Amino acid sequence: MKFAGPGKSIRVRLLLWYALVLVVAVGGFAGALYFQVRQDRLRAIDARLEAGATYLAATVRGLPPHELERRPSRERGFDAPRRPEDDRFGRPPPGDAPDGRRARREFGPPRRPPGPPGGPTDRPFSGPPAERLQALTELPGSLLDDPREPAHDAPYFVVWRADGSVLAESARPEPVERPIRFLQGAGDPPGFRWRADLRESLLLGPRGTLILVGKPAGRELGELRTFAWQIAGSGLIVLAVGLAGAWFISRSIAQPIAAISNTASEISATNLTRRIETTGIDQELYGLATVLNNTFARLEAAFERQSRFTSDASHELRTPLAVIRAHAELALSKPRSAEEYRETLSACLKATSRMATLVDGLLVLARSDAGRLDAQFSHVDWTGVIEDVVDQYRPQAEAAGIALSAQLDQPAAVSGDATLLARVSSNLLSNALRYTPAGGHVRVALARENGSAVLSVEDTGCGIPREDQGKVFERFFRADKARSRALGGYGLGLAICKSLVEAHRGTIGFTSTPNRGTRFEVRLPLVSETRAAQSPAAGYLPPPSAGSDASGSGPTEA
């Protein structure tokens, strides 16, 4: 099927398909029904005509031979001029049948011939030959007498002799000539033909006679026509009802789809908090709507995370900016002493270095997200890297009165970037030192376990509150904001650690008991000394698993 424009619509295609199927089915059924009925009606007529013809043939068989061979006289032949006393079929008035004559003239129902008393004459007339001819003016009553039949529909007949002259005939509505093609040849079964709406049966009788029995079938044809119209009407009604149903059903499919797509486009265009209505919607579409809703929910969560991150980042960047600006404005508002200027400058410097640290952290995260860490991947001695970091923090631990111990006697070769790996251990160590009170312990250890190197940083600090344990790897998350800020944290350290560890195909997790301490664990795959060269190309790292939220790794909500 080829359609411009609307053909693209499923609904229209569906309707057209329905229409085609209905037209074929209903049309086929109606046609078959009509022809079946028509066939039945015609067969009934033909059977009557055939019975009439057979009766006549039997009657003719019993006639004296001279009747059948007699050549028509000039006066009696059908070429002869009609005499005034002849009736309109060119036959002499049968004086011996006074009532029959009137009946024939009026095309009335043929009267039963005065046959033997008792019983209808449906068997051939078997009287003496002279009476037989007499009997040949009528067909037997049982073949003719159909009480439902109006007079003008009554059957008629003609019997021709072999030479073409009329042997016998009944009254009939129209003149009929002997059909040429039946002149020769013989026998059964009788042929049937239509002459306008006259149905006629032709039968070759004994000794070259030709018998024609006919019947006007106008009434039957009219009834069949009415029947045809009735079937056609019913068919059209069925078609209309079917198409209307299809229209409504297809609308009930198309409408919710349109509604879903409208809502969906509104959601993407305006706000992500809206959802597609799923109550009272069809089963097939419910699945679609649910899938879309889930997608929107995920999208919304991602957007929210993103906007929270942006807002947090801007907050963290704007605050030191505000400090710098206010200091500078205040210092410039009037002449100050050298000491005041020095104070202003050192406050600005402090704020600047704070911003620098923050920008650096954000940059690492952004690069890691984009999979573009400027990492130089090589074969790294992780133990050595950690050792260096621990040494860096020793003075700080000593100043804070924290015992810092390291158990780093096992060599561990991993594939990675030494600077980034140092950053991971440095972040973990500074966190541990930051949240451990004086007199506490911080233990750093590196172990080998099932082909992995495991770095653990354990402290006896304040621990992470249970309700916050699921969020520690979120960006800008701080369990205690005031304290964290006072201690110089931004809430990015652990997010950076997670991002970097994942970039190294490792995992990071922790266990923490409030007021007892926290233990962070970083697992990286070990590389054998010989395969060190097969490390990934420098400068490119696949992005870490999407979202990089806390749920990705580590014991959460323990």
Partner 1 sequence: MRVLVIEDETELLGVLVQALREEGYAVDAAADGEEGLFRAQSWNYDALVLDLMLPKIDGWQLLETLRRDKKTPVLVLTARDALDDRVRGLDGGADDYLVKPFQLAELFARLRALIRRSNGQANSAIEIGDVVIDVRSRSVSQNGKAVALTAREYGLVELLALHRGEVVTRTQMYDHLFDENEDSLSNLLDVHVSNIRRKLGKDFIETRRGLGYIIDAS
Interacting span for partner 1 (CB under 8 A) from 3-11, 297-305, 325-333, 490-498: 325-333
Q: How many helices (H) and strands (E) does the chain have?
A: 12, 12
Tell me the C-alpha distance between 320 and 340, whole Å. Answer: 19
Contacting residue, 20, 240, 302, 322, with partner 1 by CB under 8 A = 322
> What is the DSSP track for 473-512?
TSTT--SSHHHHHHTT--S-HHHHHHHHHHHTT-EEEEEE
Rank residues 294 and 346 by Cβ distance to partner 1 and give the closer one: 346
Interface with partner 1 in residues 334-353 (CB under 8 A): 334, 347, 350-351
Q: Check binding of 304 to partner 1 (CB under 8 A).
A: no
Nearest of 237, 455, 492 to residue 361 by alpha carbon: 492
Longest dimension (CA), the chain: 166
> CA-CA distance, 102 to 108, in Å (whole number)?
8
Of the candidates 51, 190, 47, 60, which has an alpha carbon nearest to the alpha carbon of residue 137? 60
Residue closer to partner 1 by CB (options 130, 322) is 322
Place of tokens 């009735």: 230
Q: Does 388 contact partner 1 by CB under 8 A?
A: no
Question: Is the distance from CB of 210 to CB of 163 less than 8 angstroms?
Answer: no
Q: How far apart are the first and last CA of the chain?
A: 63
Q: Which long-range contacts (CB under 8 A, 24 or more apart) does 68-71 make?
A: 68/161, 68/162, 68/167, 68/206, 68/207, 68/208, 68/209, 69/161, 69/162, 69/207, 70/161, 71/163, 71/165
Told to check if 333 binds partner 1 by CB under 8 A, we report yes
Nearer to partner 1, 220 or 474 (CB): 474
Which of residues 261, 295, 314, 534 is near partner 1 by CB under 8 A? 314
How far apart are CB 255 and partner 1 at their closest, in Å?
Answer: 35
Judged by beta carbon, residue 25 or residue 323, the one nearer partner 1 is 323
Stretch that binds partner 1, among 54-62, 162-170, 322-330, 491-499 (CB under 8 A): 322-330
- Binding of residue 324 to partner 1 (CB under 8 A): yes
Nearer to partner 1, 149 or 468 (CB): 468
Per CB under 8 A, 139 contacts partner 1 = no
Helix axes 218-269, 283-333, angle to 10 degrees: 20
Instruction: Candidates 16, 281, 321, 532: give the one binding partner 1 (CB under 8 A).
Output: 321
Q: How far is the CB of 362 from partner 1 (least distance, A)?
A: 15
Whose structure tokens read 């990934």?
536
Q: Coil, strand or helix: which one is 71?
A: coil
- Give the x-and-dash track for 163-182 against partner 1 (CB under 8 A): --------------------
Size of the site for partner 1 (CB under 8 A): 28
**Beta carbons of 537 and 492 less than 8 angstroms apart:** no
Tell me the closest approach of the beta carbon of residue 310 to partner 1, in angstroms: 9
Restricting to residues 471-530, name those near partner 1 by CB under 8 A: 480-483, 485
Rounded distance, CA 310 to CA 475, Å?
10
Of 415, 380, 419, 375, residue with least CA distance to 543? 375
Identity of the residue, 138 or 474, whose beta carbon is nearer to partner 1 in the bound complex: 474
Q: Which is nearer to partner 1, 332 or 403 (CB)?
A: 332
User: Is residue 319 a contact residue for partner 1 (CB under 8 A)?
Assistant: yes
Binds partner 1 (CB under 8 A): choice among 226, 307, 405, 534: 307
Q: Single out the segment in contact with partner 1 by CB under 8 A; choices: 219-227, 293-301, 316-324, 388-396.
A: 316-324
Q: Which stretch binds partner 1 (CB under 8 A): 16-24, 189-197, 270-278, 327-335?
A: 327-335
169 vs 211: CA distance, rounded Å: 9
Q: What are the angstrom distances between the C-alpha of 207 and each of 60, 67, 133, 163, 167?
A: 9, 11, 16, 10, 12
Rounded to 10 degrees, what is the CA torsion of 188, 198, 110, 107? -150
Distance between CA atoms of 197 and 200, rounded to whole angstroms?
Answer: 10
Region binding partner 1 by CB under 8 A among candidate stretches 127-135, 314-322, 446-454, 497-505? 314-322
Return the number of the residue (46 or 480) whose C-beta is nearest partner 1: 480
Contacts of 339 (CB under 8 A, 6+ apart): none
Residue with Cβ nearer partner 1 (251 or 318):
318
CB nearer to partner 1: pick between 167 and 324: 324
Residue 434 interacting with partner 1 (CB under 8 A): no
443 with 458: CB under 8 angstroms?
yes
Smallest distance from the beta carbon of 485 to partner 1, in angstroms? Answer: 7
Residues near partner 1, by CB under 8 A: 307, 311, 314-327, 329-330, 333-334, 347, 350-351, 480-483, 485
